[in-house]
Amino acid sequence: MFLPIILSIILIIALLFSIRVVMMKRRKAKITGVKRLLSFICLYSIAITNLFAYWFNLLGIISWTLTMFLLILGAYFTKYIPIVENDHS
């Protein structure tokens, strides 16, 4: 009975924490631009879409199609994520 509520709260907290970590790492690496954020936006949108689909009982072909579309789009936009090399010398 309370498990879906608890899991939803944990998902929201994890999303907020993850967004904060991504933004801090972007700021630290001095990365700017929206194109480099598109992959993260797509992947976060998948989590939000599935959360809304679960809560509003919309677990059908539309939510699955949207999830697959966002997954493919997020994978496509990974080419804009810069490779940051760590200097361990």
C-alpha 74/C-alpha 84 separation (Å) is: 19
Angstrom distance (rounded) from CA 13 to CA 30: 26
8 A C-beta contact, residue 86 and residue 58 = no
What confidence score (pLDDT) does residue 38 get? 93
Q: Give the pLDDT confidence score for residue 87 in this predicted structure.
A: 61
Map residue 29 onto helix, strand or coil: coil
The whole-model pTM stands at: 0.82
Helices (H), the chain: 3-28, 38-55, 61-76
Distance CA 74, CA 39 (A): 4
- pLDDT tens over the chain, length 89 residues: 788 899 999 999 999 999 999 999 889 988 888 888 999 999 999 999 999 999 998 888 999 999 999 999 999 999 988 776 776 65
Domain borders along the chain are 3-80
Report the C-alpha gap between 12 and 33 in whole angstroms: 25
